Amino acid sequence: MISFLFRMITLFFLFSSTTFGFLYIFFGSPTDEDWGFLLDIEFDELPVIAIILISLAFLSLIISIWMSAVARSRETSATRYVKQLVEPDFSLKKKNLSFSLKKALIQANDLIETQRTSLQRMTNEKAEANDKLIQERIIAERQRLARELHDSVSQQLFAASMLLSAVTEQEDELAASKPTLQQVEKIVQQAQLEMRALLLHLRPIALRNNTLAQGLTDLIQELQQKVYFNIDYQIEEIELSKAEEDHLFRIAQEALSNTLRHAKASEVELLLIARDNIGILRIQDNGEGFNIEQDKSTSYGLRNIAERAVEIGCSYKIVSVPGEGTIVEVKVPLGNKVVEMPKSDSLVDLEKRTD
């Protein structure tokens, strides 16, 4: 608003100076004899000088509004393109941008792509170095799992055993023991899901001799035999680097683990496809969901997904609606690495339900 008023006042001063400059050239010094007609001649009871000043003020207002609209339009367009710079499929489709802005956006995008490539290279080197330490990590992972099983599942099983002991003391009151039995069933089921979620983290070498598609297929087929909900999946073979495959597999593990532990879902969909030189990994459930603003900063699983996506230069999105479900989506640029791209069935887009 301040800039608009300043622009209008500046234009009014400029137009006024120019107008009176022309009057000075044609009529000479401002004397009553030469300039008196500006006050003497009236139109609708307004002297000529007032009409001139009002016209100049109106012209200044119109031009200021036009300049502000143009500036806002350019700022909005530039802001939109700056936000899109991080996307792997960024492109300048519109032609109404200035040459300098186009050049700056292209240079920024080239820099981001260079940094993404460098980050991917560093991640590949890191993945190769991690292979040398895999045995030590397996031992550490087993120790961690043992501690978590002791602190979580064992406590739940202990509670279930105590409730079962109470049931055995109520042999003559079966009707009264029904709620207790139902509570025992829920605790045991939750303990089993917790156990399977923790065991998902004990697969650091699941992709040693398999592709990402094969590893995910084996993982889902194994889970389908053990969980209480349905898992639908569509998986395509995509040529990725070792680091990309390892991180995407870990992201899928983390998302499925969170679903097992917290979602209470009845259906889960996993998608791995390649479209328009973009690899897409998406895990979607119809569980309880959560408040993304409250949980994203505190959840270890969500932070782990975000960090792994950034490490391999991917963009990621986590969308959740309480009572509706959760989507975890990661996009990785492929270039010319696509092996095959058959058409896929569309999944339910949970993001539409956030509108």
The confidence score (pLDDT) of residue 298 equals 47
The confidence score (pLDDT) of residue 163 equals 72
> Which residues lie below 8 Å from residue 42, measured CB to CB, with a gap of 6+?
48
CA atoms within 13 A on the CB side of 66: 7
The confidence score (pLDDT) of residue 346 equals 36
Residue 240 falls inside a structural domain:
yes
Last residue of a domain, one of 51, 84, 117: 84
Above 50 in pLDDT, residue 339? no
Last residue of a domain, one of 199, 226, 248: 199
Give yes or no: residues 191 and 262 share one domain.
no
Last residue of a domain, one of 68, 84, 100: 84
pLDDT band at 344 (very low <50, low <70, confident <90, very high): very low
The confidence score (pLDDT) of residue 132 equals 64
Residue 29 falls inside a structural domain:
yes
Above 70 in pLDDT, residue 201? no
State the average pLDDT over residues 319-324: 89
Give yes or no: residues 215 and 355 share one domain.
yes
The confidence score (pLDDT) of residue 347 equals 39
Give yes or no: residues 161 and 192 share one domain.
yes
Above 50 in pLDDT, residue 188? yes
Give yes or no: residues 219 and 346 share one domain.
yes
Above 80 in pLDDT, residue 248? yes
Residue 211 falls inside a structural domain:
yes
pLDDT band at 274 (very low <50, low <70, confident <90, very high): very high
State the average pLDDT over residues 314-335: 90
Of 3-7, 249-253, 338-342, where does the model show the most confidence?
249-253
The confidence score (pLDDT) of residue 303 equals 85
Residue 91 falls inside a structural domain:
no
240 vs 338: CA distance, rounded Å? 8
Q: What is the pLDDT of residues 130-184, one digit of tens each?
A: 776 775 777 677 667 766 766 666 667 667 767 766 766 665 555 666 677 777 7
Above 90 in pLDDT, residue 327? yes
pLDDT band at 353 (very low <50, low <70, confident <90, very high): low
Residue 118 falls inside a structural domain:
no
Number of domains in the chain: 3
Q: What distance lies between CA 50 and its chain's CA centroid?
A: 58
State the average pLDDT over residues 13-18: 84
The confidence score (pLDDT) of residue 297 equals 47
Residue 50 amino acid letter: A
Give yes or no: residues 263 and 343 share one domain.
yes
CA atoms within 13 A on the CB side of 86: 10
Domain containing 57 equals 2-84
